[in-house]
Amino acid sequence: MVSILRREPSLAAAPDSVPTRADFRTLYDAHFSFVWRALQHFGLSPAQAEDAAQEVFVTLHRRLDDYDAKTPIRAWLWGMGRHVALAERRKYARAERRDHVAKPPGASIPPDVALERQEAVDFVQEFLQSLPDELRDVFVMMEIEGMAATEVAVALDTKPNTIYSRLRLARTYFERAGARLRAREERAAG
């Protein structure tokens, strides 16, 4: 089930050299969708995530001179996104943060497929909200965003072995949540 969560990787990461202000547009284009998705994993609605992503890139532009080339750019953006999301979550009430309207299915998607997709999205969002932050961050970064453990370790300022341990635990929780869902569906159908 985890494999259905993996998204296409974002555009290639920035080179190992220190980006300059002239590189900003390239960084923005390459990483905006990554930042936008990450902000949603931190609990922001799509509309809030769009505004917060702009804030992340304003911060990036302001702090480009502080960038350490040893840090992967996505890890740095993840950290900025986390700080911005925490500020946004404090700003909005809990009910507003969870309030979202599902988009109507497009004409090319049959209603039953759209419903299945929405149910899968709802399941994953509920699962992610049930995880402690340290497990959710690792699960999202590695399983959904496809980041490497070393990149995640830098972003979360911890050791790679800790990342692997957290990932194993999060996967175990995910499998258990999937088993509970299947059992509920079987009881409802039977």
For the chain, the domains span 11-99, 111-190
Q: Give 143's pLDDT tier (boundaries 50, 70, 90).
A: very high
CATH 1.10.10.10 holds for 111-190: yes
Q: Give 104's pLDDT tier (boundaries 50, 70, 90).
A: low
Distance (Å, rounded) from C-alpha 180 to C-alpha 185? Answer: 9
Average pLDDT, rounded, for the chain: 81
pLDDT at 5: 37
Q: Give 99's pLDDT tier (boundaries 50, 70, 90).
A: low
**Residue partners of 85: CB distance under 8 A and separation at least 6:** 38, 39, 42, 43, 44, 52
pLDDT tops 80 at residue 11: no
Q: Give 15's pLDDT tier (boundaries 50, 70, 90).
A: very low
Q: How far is CA 135 from the centre of its chain?
A: 12
Q: What is the mean pLDDT of residues 132-146?
A: 92
Distance (Å, rounded) from C-alpha 105 to C-alpha 136? Answer: 28
Distance (Å, rounded) from C-alpha 145 to C-alpha 8? Answer: 8
Q: What is the 3-state secondary structure (H, E, C) of the chain?
A: CHHHHCCCCCCCCCCCCCCCHHHHHHHHHHHHHHHHHHHHHCCCCHHHHHHHHHHHHHHHHHHHHHCCCCCCHHHHHHHHHHHHHHHHHHHCCHHHHHCCCCCCCCCCCCHHHHHHHHHHHHHHHHHHHHCCHHHHHHHHHHHHCCCCHHHHHHHHCCCHHHHHHHHHHHHHHHHHHHHHHHHHHHHHHC
Q: What is the mean pLDDT of residues 10-33?
A: 67
Q: What is the mean pLDDT of residues 23-38?
A: 89
Q: pLDDT, tens digit, for every residue of 43-85?
A: 888 888 999 999 999 988 888 888 888 888 899 899 899 989 8
Q: 133 is written with which tokens? A: 């932050």
Distance (Å, rounded) from C-alpha 20 to C-alpha 42? Answer: 28
pLDDT at 111: 82
pTM over 0.95: no
pLDDT tops 70 at residue 102: no
Q: What is the mean pLDDT of residues 132-156?
A: 92
pLDDT at 25: 85
CATH class of 11-99: mainly alpha
